């Protein structure tokens, strides 16, 4: 039977959920792009771009396991709304700072740290909430559409951020961020409350660690999450795009926005193709090869001096990354018991947050020590080394032929 590419979209609450996620993702992408441009304009130091990621990563990584524990005990919708409150306050703080002319990046880092705190609650709660809105057999389809919405936001966010800077500066961009956050809250409010069944009392620390123990004892999940962690930690140099835009490719704010949007343009195209296809044959090898070629695109990008070629390489890398995102998300959802979904989603968020935000810090430090271009080449080579190591150490992932556990041989 031909799979229904719109299966998860037929659930009204899941549609509202996707609208909310789309608005929030778009807001955070605009904020991230504008903040990177603003900080680099103040400092002209690649390391400062890494510190933007670090300022968000520290509170996020410190509290995300607690956020996952809370998502398994409390109303996931309410926790998502609480996280959105912190995210919106971060945007309002940046707007207030930009009404003046900040001369130091330190207050900007502090506002982004508040966004990290909000994400520590929002990411595990919202990820777990999504699984409550659809039937289990539609998880793969839902993960594909959620990835597509995320990537559409990642296309529109950076491009809109660059255009908004050109039109009205950071203050206009952050005002738009606040409006988008309000839209996200409104859409999420259309979903009925989702109180959790009473959980047995237990000690906090062992329960916080339960999601970690579960992942450590699931070789497929551990391999897939480790692959994402180290590949994106070393291989993604998105934080350095302001340097490439200003100093290497020599394009303006709009060109910078297009560079930031290019990976998502490739990713959304791939996500829609995966939704139409209904699945991936031999997901284990496909995951490994997609991450390997992701590293190759960054190596080639480092040497490009053509704006058009750079856009194409970033788009290709985004398409390859989308394959990894969809497969990893589906694995996590299908192989996690519902009562542990919040804590395992938190571990997943920890890995993703480590790779993205700490990856931005690693990119800034490496650029300061090695130079911008050598640091990106080094990251791509380390991605290839990571794929080889995971393929060797995780044979169950290398041989994975079907993604659903009940369908495995």
User: What are the residue ranges spanned by the domains of the chain?
Assistant: 9-190+206-407
Using 50, 70 and 90 to split pLDDT, how confident is the model at 409?
A: very low
Using 50, 70 and 90 to split pLDDT, how confident is the model at 354?
A: low
pLDDT for position 19: 93
The two three-digit tokens of residue 122, written as one number: 């929002």
Q: What is the largest CA-CA distance in the chain?
A: 63
Please check whether residue 332 is in contact with residue 221, taking contact to mean a CB–CB distance below 8 angstroms.
Answer: yes
Mean pLDDT of 153-173: 81
So what CATH class is 9-190+206-407?
mainly alpha
Q: At residue 387, does pLDDT exceed 60?
A: yes
Looking at the chain, the whole-number percentage of residues with pLDDT higher than 70 is 90
Residues 6+ apart with CB under 8 A from 42: 48, 102, 103, 104, 105
pLDDT for position 405: 57
Looking at the chain, the whole-number percentage of residues with pLDDT higher than 90 is 23
pLDDT for position 408: 41
pLDDT for position 199: 60
Mean pLDDT of 190-200: 77
Task: Provide the terminal-to-terminal Cα distance of the chain, rounded to the nearest Å.
Answer: 22
Q: What is the mean pLDDT of the chain?
A: 82
pLDDT digits (tens, 9 = 90+) for 249-298: 988 877 887 887 788 788 878 877 877 776 667 888 888 888 899 989 99
């Amino acid at each position: 039977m031909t799979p229904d590419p719109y299966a998860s979209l037929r659930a009204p609450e899941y549609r509202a959920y996707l609208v909310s996620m789309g608005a929030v993702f778009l807001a955070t992408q605009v904020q991230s792009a504008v903040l990177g441009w603003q900080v680099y304009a103040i400092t002209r130091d690649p390391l400062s771009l890494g510190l933007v990621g670090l300022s968000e990563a520290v509170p996020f990584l410190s509290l995300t396991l607690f956020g996952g524990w809370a998502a398994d005990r409390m109303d996931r919708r309410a926790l998502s709304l609480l996280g959105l409150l912190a995210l919106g306050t971060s945007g309002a703080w940046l707007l207030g700072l930009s009404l003046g002319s900040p001369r130091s990046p330190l207050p900007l880092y502090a506002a982004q740290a508040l966004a990290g705190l909000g994400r520590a609650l929002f990411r595990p709660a919202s990820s777990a909430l999504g699984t409550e809105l659809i039937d289990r057999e539609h998880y793969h389809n839902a993960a594909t559409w959620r990835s597509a919405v995320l990537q559409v936001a990642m296309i529109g966010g950076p491009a809109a951020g660059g255009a908004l800077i050109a039109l009205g500066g950071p203050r206009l961009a952050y005002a738009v961020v606040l409006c988008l956050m309000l839209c996200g809250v409104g859409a999420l409010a259309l979903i009925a409350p989702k109180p959790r069944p009473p959980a047995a009392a237990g000690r906090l620390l062992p329960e916080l660690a339960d999601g970690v123990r579960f992942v450590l004892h699931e070789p497929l999940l551990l391999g897939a999450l480790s692959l994402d962690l180290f590949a994106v930690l070393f291989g993604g140099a998105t934080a350095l795009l302001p340097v490439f835009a200003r100093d290497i490719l020599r394009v303006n704010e709009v060109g910078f926005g297009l560079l930031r949007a290019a990976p998502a343009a490739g990713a959304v195209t791939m996500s829609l193709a995966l939704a139409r296809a209904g699945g991936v044959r031999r997901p284990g090898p496909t995951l490994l090869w997609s991450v390997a070629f992701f590293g190759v695109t960054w190596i080639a990008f480092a040497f490009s001096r053509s704006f058009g070629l750079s856009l194409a390489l970033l788009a290709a890398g985004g398409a390859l990354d989308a394959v990894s995102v969809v497969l990893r998300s589906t694995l996590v959802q299908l192989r996690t018991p519902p009562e542990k979904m919040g804590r395992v989603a938190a571990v997943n968020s920890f890995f993703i947050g480590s790779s993205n935000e700490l990856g931005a810090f690693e990119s800034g430090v490496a650029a300061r020590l090695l130079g911008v271009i050598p640091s990106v080449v080094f990251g791509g080579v380390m991605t290839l080394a990571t794929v080889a190591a995971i393929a060797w150490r995780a044979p169950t992932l290398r041989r994975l032929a079907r993604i659903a556990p009940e369908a495995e041989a």
